[in-house]
Amino acid sequence: MNQTVCALRFFYGVTLDRAEFPERIVYARTPRKLPAILGADEVVRFLEAVPSLKTRVALTTAYAAGLRASEAVSLKVADIDSARMVLQVRHGKGAKDRTVMLSAALLAILRSYWRLTRPNDWLFPGRGPDKPIDVQVLHSACRSATKAAGLTKKVSVHTLRHSFATHLLESGTDIRIIQVLLGHANLSTTARYTHVATSTIARTPSPLDRLDIVVTPLA
């Protein structure tokens, strides 16, 4: 339908030079679907099905902090602020920086991961230490883990982000806090997770704290 609309708008607006017509020929709206959400047990099954330690920790971090795939792979060791228990997200969507909570459970996982892999600059380095892991590696890992875990839902890194927001919402976190954590410019974008409560970023627990999961080998 939109192809036809584009043709008609071009015909009237350009070919016939009738500028008043195109605005009256509206595009068809794409139905907005609710995102797929994983339950807590499904998150555990999914993450434990990721075979690679690096990608498992990266995807766990994405869930624990509500990160986009590009934000997870761009994390540096210096972005982990254990003193203030926050993560610094650099150059997120719209080239904006933001601060998210650092879960105590995630900090323990990251420390164990660091002892095992010793990354210097990038938290999740690629094949060479001077570049981060490619975002497509996470997407591929998601597809493999979904199949290995026997999940019927289509799971992506963004599914983990949606699940992060929904699980916070279910635990009573203020939607305005969730907006800040997700880096949404408008509250209306976060409103699909609608709920109201009060808290602060520093004291907001990550849903990862509620999971019984082993991501890195026990020391």
Q: Which residues are catalytic?
A: 68, 93, 158, 161, 184, 193
Q: Secondary structure of the chain in the HEC alphabet?
A: CHHHHHHHHHHHHHHCCCCCCHHHCCCCCCCCCCCCCCCHHHHHHHHHCCCCHHHHHHHHHHHHHCCCHHHHHCCEHHHEECCCCEEEECCCHHHCCEEEECCHHHHHHHHHHHHHHCCCCECCECCCCCCECCHHHHHHHHHHHHHHCCCCCCCCHHHHHHHHHHHHHHCCCCHHHHHHHHCCCCHHHHHHHCCCCCCCHHHCCCHHHHCCCCCCCCC
